[in-house]
Structure 1
Amino acid sequence: MPAAIAGGLRGFIRFFRDVMGEDAYRKYQAHHAASGCNGPALTEREFWKDKMDRQDANPGGRCC
């Protein structure tokens, strides 16, 4: 039973991280590799800065 609880907790943590967008850089890396881009991928720091800059420039449906 403890293994089932641990597995469920790991699944919940993975789900929560995905909802919060923590996996965005990993998805970006996978897309960059699959799309055959010629240039180098952004570093994680560059990626998050670019993402935040785009969100600030285009707030969309955010409440604040």
Structure 2
Amino acid sequence: MTSTGIALVASGFRGFARHLGGVMGADAYAKYLEHHRSAGHQEAPMSEREFWRDRTDRQDTNPQGRCC
């Protein structure tokens, strides 16, 4: 396989990994930061650890249909 072919396969794999991460919610913190920034909040955003703890707590107290 040529280096161009390897680069195409690697690029395709990275795209698939990004898509899968989006489906699984792995990009939720990045989306939260973008929303926080664009909404003009004055306070500092939650840390990534605080964000995931808050998200898990909200899901536990208000369960909704999800796959698992």
Fold shared per TM-score above 0.5: yes
Of residues 30, 41, 65 in structure 2, which corresponds to 1:61? 65
The runs of 5 or more residues in structure 1 that have no matched partner are: none
Report the TM-score when normalising by structure 1: 0.91
CA-to-aligned-CA distance 1:25-57 (integer Å, 9 cap, x gap) = 000001001100111100001000000000001
Give the superposition deviation at 1:63. Answer: 5.8
Q: Over aligned residue pairs, what C-alpha RMSD do you find?
A: 1.3
Pairing partner for 1:40 from 24, 44, 58? 44
| Structure 2 residue identity aligned to 1:45 | R
Cα distance in 1 for residues equivalent to 2:7 and 2:67: 40
| 1:19 equivalent in structure 2 | 23
Distance in structure 2 (CA, Å) of the matches to 1:63 and 1:16: 15
Query: What is the total number of aligned residue pairs between the two structures?
Result: 64
Q: So what's the TM-score if we normalise by structure 2?
A: 0.86
Q: Compare CA radii of gyration and give the structure with the larger one.
A: 2
Unaligned runs of 5+ in 2: none
- Aligned-pair identity in percent equals 53
